[in-house]
Amino acid sequence: MSSTALLLWAKGPGFAFAAAVFLFGVTLRVVEMLWLRRRPDRSVARGSGALQGLRTVVSRFLPAPGLVARSPVVHVGGMVFHLGLFAVVFLYGPHIAAIRGMTGLDWPGLPTGAIDGATVLTIAAMIVLLIARSKDPVRRLLTTGADHLAWTATLLPLLTGFLLVNRVALPFETLLAVHLLSVELLLVLFPFTTLMHAVTFAFARYYAGAIAGRKGAHS
């Protein structure tokens, strides 16, 4: 298959299939999660579960006091990774244009140089975090093949996007096709791997905070 044919397939049927799997999978996972029921709490409420739940969703974006000092690589690296990934996905001009074409939403982006820097930092943070995980006996034991698959699926769009923007190694059409295919792989895997935490984290935080808040405790 020529690079032009591959690009046309990636931009057409390939993307349509990946988007359909992504939307169906995410919707299914969220519905399954909301469908789960727990026994009604008949104890006397000592605080606002809803308020504490919302507060927990926001407060957990920052690590608890003392955690950074105990595990600086994990927490600093994690923040660099998540902030960098957010910038690359949502603040890069062509990505914003693609989202605008699909949803009509629009917002200002960052210069290409800033996105390049964010991409390098994000990839570096991923590698550092992977090494730290491999050296920690407990986290190494807990790591599965699915975790490595999610890590690889996240890395590939970053790496191929960086090569595409900087015109490295391959012709533009080939690089663009490979980049789109890597994004589509990510979309297909997203609902069925730990990548889904990008959606479920808010539900989990709210649930934990609401339980604590009803009991009058802080989470």
pLDDT tens digits for 76-130? 999 999 999 999 999 999 999 999 998 999 999 999 999 999 999 999 999 999 9
What is the SS3 assignment for 107?
coil
Number of domains into which the chain is organized:
1
Residue 176 domain-assigned? no
Identity of the residue numbered 1: M
Residue 41 has what pLDDT? Answer: 67
127-139 pLDDT, tens digit per residue, is: 999 999 999 899 9
Residue 16 domain-assigned? no
Spans in the chain with pLDDT lower than 70: 1, 38, 41-47, 49, 216-219
Residue among 62, 147, 92, 81 at smallest CA distance from 120: 81
Residue 58 domain-assigned? yes
Its domain, for residue 165, covers 47-171+202-214
Residue 1 has what pLDDT? Answer: 66
Token pair, residue 124, equals: 């570096």
Cα 28 to Cα 163: distance, rounded to the nearest angstrom: 34
What is the SS3 assignment for 92?
strand
Cα 57 to Cα 54: distance, rounded to the nearest angstrom: 5
Residue 208 domain-assigned? yes
Residue among 197, 198, 157 at smallest CA distance from 179: 157
Residue 58 has what pLDDT? Answer: 84
Residue 21 domain-assigned? no
Q: What are phi and psi of 40, to 5 degrees?
A: -65, 140
- Taking 3-state DSSP, the helix, strand and coil percentages for the chain, each rounded to the nearest 5, stand at 80, 0, 20
Residue among 79, 70, 74 at smallest CA distance from 129: 74
Looking from the CA of 109 toward its CB, the CA atoms found within 13 Å total 24
Token pair, residue 13, equals: 């049927």
Residue 54 has what pLDDT? Answer: 83
Cα 6 to Cα 153: distance, rounded to the nearest angstrom: 20
Residue 70 has what pLDDT? Answer: 83
Residue 161 has what pLDDT? Answer: 95
Residue 196 domain-assigned? no
Residue 189 domain-assigned? no
Residues, the chain: 219
Alpha helices in 45-144 (DSSP H): 49-59, 67-70, 72-90, 93-103, 112-135, 137-142
Residue 55 domain-assigned? yes
